[in-house]
Amino acid sequence: MKKIILASKSPRRKELLELLDVKFSVEIREVDELYSEDLNKKDVAEYLANLKADSFIKVGKDQLIITADTIVLVEGKILGKPKNKNEAFQMLSFLSDKSHDVITGVCIKTSTKSTSFSTSTKVFFKALSSAEIEY
């Protein structure tokens, strides 16, 4: 049985693994989430998940590392995480009455193998009032 290591700060990812009732630990490696502008935008999340997995240079034979990254892609532009309430308000205003893609890339790595994949979900936002966004 492998020791599962979730390499993510995401409370939701942690919650999802807990729902599976498997034992795991959380271990974070800080990674500069940089990618080439030439990279297809739809491939960025999977690329970043692999980059995070590669930060685990030595993986023990009894370990399984899970990394992930999620991006929001709208009108050919990747939206980063808002840094503050004002940025969050601007981002939600921008997404209002539009559709966007939420793309999650995942990498699973052991001492001998690494595999990755991504999945995309189309999200539709209704027109949001300023009061709704503020709320």
Instruction: Determine whether 54 is an active site residue.
Output: no
What helix, strand, coil percent values describe the chain, rounded to 5?
A: 30, 35, 40
Please spell the DSSP secondary structure of 109-132, one letter per residue: E-SS-EEEEEEEEEEEPPP--HHH
Question: Would you tell me how many other CB atoms lie within 10 Å of the CB of residue 98?
Answer: 13
From 21, 43, 54, 69, active-site residue:
69
- DSSP conformation class of 18: H
Pairing mode of beta strands 24-26, 77-79: unpaired
| Distances from the Cα of 121 to the Cα of 64, 88, 105, angstroms | 26, 21, 12
Q: Which residues are catalytic?
A: 69
